[in-house]
C-alpha cells in the first residue's frame, strides 16, 4: 500500500484556508447571473480555489461558474478519480463568539463558518493533491479535485458538472465523517403553500419569518401582530413564552407588534439535535383569535410539525435496516398578510424506501389539511456495495493511518456530492472522536485533524489512481 510522504506546512495551509474562509460564500439567488449562477459569494470561493491551484502549477478549469476543478496526473489518461468538495456555506446565523468569516484558532481549534463544512476538508484534499505530486508516485488515472458551489442549496452545480464532464471511475466527497459513509438517505425538498384569505379578526398575523436554509434547523423566528386587540394578545403570547422559559423579545414597529424568539440551529439531517424557533413561536400564538388561514398556518407548525421529526403526523414515517429512520426538518417558514404562507420541508428518506411513495403520501396529507405542494425536488439515495474495490481501498487506508482493524462503515442522513457519482462514497474529514459542528454557531474543527485527514487523502489518492476497472 502506498504511503505518500506528507510534510504539510501548517502555516501555508492555514493561510490558504483563511483566505477561503474570508469569502462569505452563501448563495444569493437575487444576484445570480451568467457565470455566477448562485451569486457572487460562491463564485468568489470557486475562483479562490482555482487561483490557488493555478498558483501551484496544476491544471484548472472553471465550468461556467457552477463548478471547477484542479487536476493532477497523466493528462492523456482515459479515467479520473474525483474528489468532490464545496466552497459554498450556509448563513452564519446566531451569536458567534468571533467573526464567522475570519479564521480564529484557539488551542489548536479552528472556528469559522466552513471550518468543517466544507472549506477545511476541501483545503485538506487540495494539500493532499500537492503532497501526491511532490511524492513522485506513478499514477494510472488522473486525480481531479472538483470544486462545487451549490451543495447547501440543491446541488445544481453537480448536475451541471455531470452535463459538462465525463463521469469519474470512482470518487469520494471529503464532506462527512470518518471512517467512511457507504449509504446516504435520499432527499425530498418540498415547499408547502397556504393561500391567504381576507377575513375580519380581532388580531391578525401579518408576518411570520423563520429560517434561512431548508437544511438548517431555524435558530430564530419572528411574528408581527396587528389589529384592535393585538396588544392584548401579544401580552398573552409573551406570557406563554415566559411560562416555557423561551428567550424572546417584544417591540412595537411601524408594521405592528413584533415578537422574536430564539432557538438552536442544527443540521437539517438531524432536526432533533436543534431547537426549531418556528415551533416555539407558533406554540405561543396558537390561542390567538386569528383569521382562519392564519390559524391554519400556525396550527400546521404547532400541531402537525412540532417536534415530529419522524413525520408520523404527515403519515410518512418509516425506517429500514441500513440507514434508520426517516427525518423531517421545517427549515424555511414564511407568512405574509397578502401572499399567505410557505413552509419548506427537508425530508431524509431511508435508502430502501421509495421516494415516489413518500411523495404521494405527503401530497395527500398536505392537501387534506387544505394546503398544496408547490416546488418539489428529490435526490436519490447513495448505497454503495461495501466490497467495492474503491470502498475497500479507502477503508484500508484509514485503518492504516489510525492503527485500527475491521472498522465499521457508516450510514448517514446527510447528503453529499457522492450521490452524484456512479461509484463513490463520503470519506471524512470529521474524526470519530470529535463532534460534527457543520451548520452550527461557532462551527469548529481541530487543525491537526484536518492535517491528519490530508495525509489520509494523499494515500487514498495514490491508491485510487491505480484502481483497476
Per-residue model confidence as pLDDT tens digits over 371-389:
999 988 898 999 999 999 9
What band does 197 get if pLDDT is binned at 50, 70 and 90? confident
414-453, pLDDT tens digit by residue? 889 999 999 999 999 999 999 999 999 999 999 999 999 9
414 Rama sector, left if φ>0, alpha if ψ -120 to 50, beta otherwise: beta
Tell me, what's the pLDDT at 37?
98
User: Is 299 a residue whose pLDDT tops 80?
Assistant: yes
Task: Read off the pLDDT of each residue in 286-297 and give the average, rounded to a whole number.
Answer: 95
Q: What is the mean pLDDT of residues 167-187?
A: 97
Closest CA to 221 of 292, 152, 298, 291: 298
Phi, psi of 176 (to 5 degrees): -155, -125
Q: Please tell me the number of Cα atoms within 13 Å of 445 on its side-chain side.
A: 33
What's the pLDDT at 56?
Answer: 98
Query: Per-residue pLDDT for 122 more than 70?
Result: yes
Return the C-alpha cell found at 280.
Answer: 416555539
User: What is the model's pLDDT at position 376?
Assistant: 87
What percent of the chain has pLDDT above 90?
92
Q: Could you tell me the pLDDT band of residue 276, with boundaries at 50, 70 and 90?
A: very high
Averaged pLDDT score across all residues of the chain: 96
Question: For residue 292, which phi and psi values (nearest 5 degrees)?
Answer: -60, -50
| Cα gap 92→100, rounded to integer Å | 7
Does position 344 have pLDDT exceeding 90, yes or no? yes
In this structure, how many other beta carbons lie within 10 angstroms of the beta carbon of residue 141?
A: 21
Q: What is the mean pLDDT of residues 183-194?
A: 96
Task: Identify any residues that bridge with 172 across adjacent strands, giving them in sequence order.
Answer: 83, 425
Q: What is the mean pLDDT of residues 317-344?
A: 96
**Among candidate residues 69, 86, 156, 153, the one with its CA nearest the CA of residue 121:** 86
Q: Are 17 and 114 in contact, with CB atoms under 8 Å apart? A: no
CA gap 152, 44 in Å, rounded: 16
In this prediction, residue 199 has a pLDDT band, given cuts at 50, 70 and 90, of confident
DSSP annotation of 408 reads: P
d(CA 56, CA 78): 24
Query: Is the confidence at residue 183, as pLDDT, over 90?
Result: yes
What's the pLDDT band for 469 if we cut at 50, 70, 90? Answer: confident
Q: Which residues are catalytic?
A: 88, 151
The three-class DSSP label of residue 209 is strand
Read off the pLDDT of residues 218-241 as tens digits, 9 standing for 90 and up. Answer: 999 999 999 999 999 999 999 999
Residue ranges of domains in the chain: 10-185+382-464, 187-379
**DSSP structure string for 247-309:** -EEEEE-SSSEEEEEE-B--BTT-GGGSB-HHHHHHHHHTTS---HHHHHHHHIIIIIITT-T
What count of other Cβ atoms lies within 10 Å of the Cβ of residue 387? Answer: 7
Could you tell me how many residues make up the chain? 469
Q: Could you give phi then psi for residue 34, rounded to 5 degrees?
A: -60, 130
Task: Supply 362's cell numbers.
Answer: 405527503
For 329-389, the DSSP string reads EEEEEEEETTTEEEEEEEEEE-TTS-HHHHHHHHHHHHHHTT-EEEEEEEE--EE--TTSH
Q: What pLDDT does residue 2 have?
A: 65
pLDDT of residue 399: 98
> What is the maximum span of the chain, computed from C-alpha positions, in angstroms?
78
Query: What does 425-462 look like in DSSP terms, one character per residue?
Result: EE--EE-TTS---TTSTT-EEEHHHHHHHHHHHHHHHH
What's the average model confidence in pLDDT over 277-292? 96
At 330, list the grid cell. Answer: 421545517
**Class for the domain spanning 10-185+382-464:** alpha beta
What is the pLDDT at residue 241?
Answer: 97
Tell me 212's DSSP state: S
pLDDT at residue 189, rounded to an integer? 95
pLDDT in tens, 5-64: 777 799 999 999 999 999 999 999 999 999 999 999 999 999 999 999 999 999 999 999
3-state SS assignment for residue 117:
coil
- DSSP assignment letter at 167: P
Backbone angles phi, psi at 175, to 5 degrees: -145, 35
Which CA distances in Å does 439 have to 54, 212, 443?
A: 30, 11, 7
Pick the CATH number of 187-379 from 3.40.605.10, 1.10.1040.10, 3.40.190.10, 3.30.70.360: 3.30.70.360
Q: What's the whole-model pTM score?
A: 0.88
Amino acid at each position: 500500500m502506498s504511503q505518500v510522504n506528507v510534510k504539510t506546512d501548517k502555516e501555508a495551509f492555514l493561510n490558504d484556508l483563511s483566505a477561503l474562509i474570508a469569502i462569505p460564500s452563501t448563495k444569493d439567488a437575487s444576484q445570480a447571473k451568467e457565470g455566477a449562477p448562485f451569486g457572487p459569494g460562491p463564485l468568489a470561493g470557486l475562483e479562490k480555489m482555482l487561483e490557488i491551484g493555478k498558483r501551484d502549477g496544476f491544471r484548472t478549469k472553471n465550468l461556467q461558474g457552477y463548478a471547477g476543478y484542479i487536476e493532477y496526473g497523466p493528462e492523456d489518461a482515459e479515467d479520473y478519480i474525483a474528489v468532490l468538495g464545496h466552497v459554498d456555506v450556509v448563513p452564519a446565523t446566531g451569536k458567534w463568539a468571533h467573526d464567522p468569516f475570519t479564521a480564529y484558532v484557539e488551542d489548536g481549534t479552528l472556528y469559522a463558518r466552513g471550518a468543517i463544512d466544507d472549506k477545511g476538508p476541501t483545503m485538506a484534499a487540495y494539500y493532499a493533491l500537492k503532497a501526491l505530486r511532490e511524492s513522485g508516485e506513478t499514477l494510472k488515472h488522473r486525480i481531479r479535485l472538483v470544486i462545487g458551489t451549490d451543495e447547501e442549496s440543491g446541488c445544481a452545480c453537480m448536475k451541471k458538472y455531470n452535463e459538462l464532464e465525463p463521469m469519474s471511475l470512482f470518487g469520494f466527497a471529503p464532506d462527512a465523517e470518518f471512517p467512511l459513509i457507504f449509504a446516504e438517505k435520499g432527499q425530498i425538498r418540498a415547499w408547502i403553500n397556504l393561500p391567504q384569505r381576507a377575513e375580519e379578526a380581532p388580531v391578525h398575523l401579518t408576518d411570520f419569518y423563520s429560517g434561512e436554509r431548508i437544511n438548517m434547523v431555524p435558530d430564530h423566528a419572528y411574528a408581527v401582530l396587528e389589529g384592535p386587540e393585538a396588544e392584548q394578545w401579544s401580552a398573552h403570547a409573551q406570557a406563554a413564552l415566559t411560562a416555557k422559559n423561551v428567550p424572546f423579545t417584544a417591540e412595537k414597529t411601524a408594521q405592528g407588534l413584533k415578537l422574536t424568539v430564539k432557538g438552536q440551529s442544527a443540521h437539517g439531517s438531524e432536526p432533533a439535535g436543534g431547537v426549531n424557533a418556528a415551533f416555539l413561536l407558533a406554540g405561543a400564538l396558537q390561542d390567538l383569535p386569528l383569521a382562519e388561514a392564519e390559524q391554519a398556518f400556525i396550527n400546521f407548525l404547532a400541531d402537525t410539525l412540532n417536534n415530529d421529526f419522524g413525520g408520523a403526523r404527515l403519515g410518512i414515517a418509516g425506517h429500514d435496516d441500513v440507514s434508520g429512520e426517516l427525518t423531517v426538518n421545517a427549515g424555511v417558514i414564511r407568512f405574509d398578510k397578502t401572499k399567505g404562507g410557505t413552509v419548506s420541508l427537508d425530508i431524509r428518506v431511508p435508502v430502501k424506501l421509495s421516494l415516489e411513495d413518500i411523495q404521494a403520501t405527503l401530497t395527500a396529507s398536505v392537501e387534506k389539511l387544505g394546503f398544496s405542494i408547490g416546488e418539489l425536488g428529490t435526490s436519490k439515495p447513495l448505497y454503495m456495495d461495501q466490497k467495492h474495490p474503491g470502498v475497500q481501498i479507502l477503508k484500508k487506508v484509514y485503518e492504516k493511518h489510525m492503527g485500527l482493524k475491521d472498522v465499521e462503515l457508516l450510514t448517514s442522513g446527510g447528503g453529499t456530492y457522492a450521490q452524484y457519482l456512479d461509484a463513490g462514497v463520503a470519506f471524512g474529514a470529521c474524526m470519530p472522536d470529535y463532534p460534527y459542528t457543520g451548520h452550527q454557531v461557532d462551527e469548529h474543527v481541530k487543525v491537526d485533524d484536518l492535517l491528519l485527514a490530508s495525509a489520509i487523502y494523499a494515500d487514498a489518492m495514490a491508491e485510487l489512481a491505480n484502481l483497476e476497472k
